[in-house]
Structure 1
């Protein structure tokens, strides 16, 4: 008869996913948990990003933990600081910080004798029975390789490293990039700066978003009637998964046609023919991550804003030199150049069964089984692993479902029915072959460059519907696992 075990669990990252994992592990009766966080505070991406205009692109009432409804969001899509405060509030209510080690970066993890020995920036942390890797996907800033970048005489920073209290008032600002971050910043700062030069490499499709305030009367109604709040959550979640999420994976052509129409009609707000031409993408709506904004087109047409579409030849002390020979003189250079979404687990050195290193196993392509587990790396579970639905659903819903899947396997270890659990190589291959077979049906594979696509052209997202994801996460298929 199997004997129940005391488990020691490591969680990597104190962002939204890591905090949720700690709460859920405690609820399951697993109390010996340590969360390793390399920064000095919690919050993950909502801590690192504090640029002007930062806003979630998922409706607020659908962006929350299932166990922590929030009636206090002030806008249809919450500003970043509100989301960070929500995470801090949850951490306080659940007394999470007693199990978080701040300023403690995981450097190495070695699988030895059925356990993971972890080394951090503080030293040897000992052995753990399982690891939940919740370090996130978008946290390694991608810096552009532009000649002379280090010679600029003014202030330069990536948007994820925005200096606390930094003012742009009255300054000439150069903003490199036109993704979601740059779009939000443009609308937020154009009335504050003397001049905004927005350097665009690729035009973006923008879905109109009227980010209206949620009236106090509405919030009061949510407080008084939690069922009403839950009803709105279910409505918004269904709207997102049945329309947008299904549309981008080729399962709802009618919804996709509507998305396309909304984006094209929105572009009609640009009145200058030349500017409209330069803002019109040459790829299908949704191929890149769809941007949502209600003020970008208005902002870029203001007299002190300029869209620069000539390529950047180099950076000089006074500003940005473009390929046409023009020097764009600026005081501040902001790099809205996104993140390397394919550095999952980097720079940790992770060594699994038989001395296999994860960076070597992933040298050609990052592959996991159902985005959660990896062959030869037993008891290592990922929230946000390769081919997670990073561009489809609300991330908090995704994270909870992935955690629930991992917990079922962890419970087998705790019950004494297994010591080591890792997916079979055949299961990994079958899953990833299915991903590749389905991906051509998705809009991401329609012919554009995006951060979803790795250096080998592999689209690292979930090519199926939310219902399939939920079903796949509901119960592990034990036949797909080597269980020792």
Structure 2
């Protein structure tokens, strides 16, 4: 029976371990560098942290949760759900194990940890996610700031914001959640916006008992709604125009002041950047202690933030709501495959993987939430389940054939060419966003629907792989 080592104990890693355990594979080890499972839901503790995918859809299909308190659950409820599911299926990760490197030698993977321990396994499953490493902007003078600063993904709960002059840099998914939460306590809150996001109303609700009985139907409804949303990302103007009208109507209703509203009108095609859901972000910006600054930041000074108009905004604390290094897949883990080839070097011109999971020259390694498997519309948990199923089939074949599987280069190249060709017709290529790497290549997102990904990963094609002797 093959041994499997999973790196990461988020939804992806836990899902793979459950899939393999359910299939009878017991030699499965999950290692996690932190002291708890949860991935992004463990790391992001900022006020208001929650999911913008409805909870019935943002959960494993085989482990529905009839106890969701609300449609768009907060971080604590999502984390509690994942802990319960892991416990139910007997998944016990090894915590405090930070992987630094992995190499393929003589048919097995040797995995090195920060403590000096070396682990070995037949199959390696990196499940470190795309949203695990905070991105800090390269702003001149950042190190000279004499006040307090932190990234939203490393929230400093010991620092009291009450009565403080607060600067928030960034207006992405995290900022639009925590800004309304910190606004009432701040003496002055300055939000620095580079580009305005598209915001639509958040159809949230606290579930009543009768509504919880309908959660399976609600899951199906939001699955279908997200499938329609994909059409807009693929260029369907009817869908995008409808969503754009909803967003702009939401803005007009919540921001009657012409000057402020003008600053909040996006100047790019909807869908190019992530569409956000919020009912309280715009009202927070209208409060008398809040200022929305749209002049570009030129420097951070010892006393605050300087903008292109020459104004120095003096603040006590800077909160970076600047997202994650989503295109730095697997970093900083050094991975080497056949002949010592470096995965980082293979990905010099952009990360790529067949079905987002396998890379030629790296046998028996299967990525979870790898390149081009993120979504603009839909639940990533749905995608992770399909990847877990595919990996289970790979492990079954590895066990049956007593050999290693290495995806054929021509198969991987054909898949990548198809993918990039399709991505070229999506809205994601029409502006700068975290979906694209430094070369402009879209390395994060899947160009189709989740149902298409379901079909393409339903059965492992043995002809797509070469056999490598163990």
Query: TM-score, normalization: structure 2?
Result: 0.96
Candidates 67, 91, 97, aligned match of 1:96: 91
1:253, distance to aligned residue in structure 2 (A): 4.1
Q: Does 2:440 match 1:453?
A: no
Structure 1 residue 364: Cα displacement = 1.4
Take 1:394 and 1:162, find their aligned partners in 2: how far apart are those partners?
A: 26
Q: What's the secondary structure of 2:424's corresponding residue?
A: helix
- Which residue pairs with 1:465 in the alignment? 449
Is 1:267 aligned with 2:251?
yes
1:249 aligns with 2:249: no
Is contact 1:418-1:483 (8 Å) kept? no
After superposition, the C-alpha distances for 1:275-324 in whole angstroms (9 at most, x for unaligned) are 22211111011100111111111111111111001121222232212222
Superposed CA offset, 1:436-478 (max 9, x none): 2111321212x21000011111112111222211111101222
SS of the residue aligned with 2:406?
Answer: strand
How far does residue 245 in structure 1 lie from its aligned partner after superposition? Answer: 2.4
1:28 is matched with which residue?
Answer: 23
1:16-95 matches, cutoff 5 A: 16-95=11-90
Q: Quick check: 1:338 aligned with 2:323?
A: yes
| Structure 2 Cα separation of the partners of residues 316 and 234 of structure 1 | 51
Indicate whether 1:436 and 2:420 are aligned.
yes
2:390 equivalent to 1:405:
yes
Q: Mind listing any 5+ residue stretches in structure 2 that lack a counterpart?
A: none
> Which residue does 2:217 correspond to in 1?
231
Q: Deviations over 1:31-65 (max 9, x none)?
A: 11111111121110000001111110101111101
Is there any run of 5+ residues in structure 1 with no aligned partner, and where? 1-5, 223-227
Instruction: Report deviation, 1:351.
Output: 0.8
Query: Whole-Å Cα distance in 1 between the matches of residues 416 and 115 of structure 2?
Result: 37
CA distance in 2, matches of 1:150, 1:389: 33
Cα distance in 1 for partners of 2:256, 2:216 equals 42
Aligned-partner Cα distance in 2 for 1:392–1:356: 35
1:388 paired with 2:381, answer: no
2:173 to 170, 180, 186: 180
Structure 1 residue 370, shift from structure 2 partner: 1.1
Match of 1:225 in 2: none
Residues 248, 256 of structure 1: 8 Å contact kept: yes
- Within a 5 Å distance, the mapping from 1:152-171 to structure 2 comes to 152-171=145-164
Mapped to 2, the partners of 1:418 and 1:369 lie a distance apart of 22
User: Is the 1:263–1:285 contact (alpha carbons within 8 Å) kept by the matching residues of 2?
Assistant: no
Match of 2:291 in 1: 306
Question: How far, CA to CA, are the matches of 1:216 and 1:169 in structure 2?
Answer: 38
For residues 268 and 21 of structure 2, the distance between their equivalents in structure 1, rounded to whole angstroms, comes to 47
Pick one of 183, 189, 198 that aligns with 1:205.
Answer: 198
Of 462, 465, 470, which aligns to 1:481?
Answer: 465
Shift of 1:418: 4.4
Measured against aligned partners, the alpha-carbon deviations of 1:146-176 in whole angstroms (never above 9, x if no partner) come to 1221222222000010023543222221000
1: distance between equivalents of 2:442 and 2:295? Answer: 28
Deviation, 1:85, is: 1.2
How far apart are residue 93 of structure 1 and its match?
2.4
Task: State the alpha-carbon separation in 2 of the partners of residues 192 and 83 from structure 1.
Answer: 26
2:335 aligned counterpart, secondary structure:
strand
Structure 2 Cα separation of the partners of residues 354 and 392 of structure 1: 39
Between 205-214 and 352-361, report the one with greater CA deviation. Answer: 205-214
Q: Distance in 2 between matches of 1:218 and 1:472?
A: 34
Aligned partners of 1:294, 1:283: CA distance in 2, in Å? 22
Paired position in structure 2 for 1:3: none
- The total of aligned residue pairs comes to 466
C-alpha distance in 1, partners of 2:237/2:462?
35
**Contact 1:116-1:130 within 8 A present in 2 as well:** yes
Q: Is the 8 A contact 2:2 2:395 kept in 1?
A: no
1: CA distance, partners of 2:402 / 2:256: 65
Cα distance in 1, alignment partners of residues 393 and 453 from structure 2: 16
1: distance between equivalents of 2:203 and 2:190?
25
Question: What does the per-residue CA deviation read over 1:251-285, in whole Å, with 9 as the maximum and x for residues that have no partner?
Answer: x5433221111112112132222222211111011
- Provide the C-alpha distance between the structure 1 equivalents of 2:441 and 2:377, rounded to a whole number of angstroms: 17
Residue 57 of structure 1 aligns to a residue in which SS? coil
Structure 1 partner of 2:310: 325
Superposed CA deviations along residues 362-390 of structure 1, whole A, max 9, x for unmatched, are 11111111111010100000111111133
Q: Secondary structure at the match of 2:292?
A: strand
Does the Cα contact within 8 Å between 1:148 and 1:315 map onto a contact in 2? yes
Structure 1 residue 351 and structure 2 residue 341: aligned? no
Alpha-carbon distance in 2 for matches of 1:118, 1:305: 49
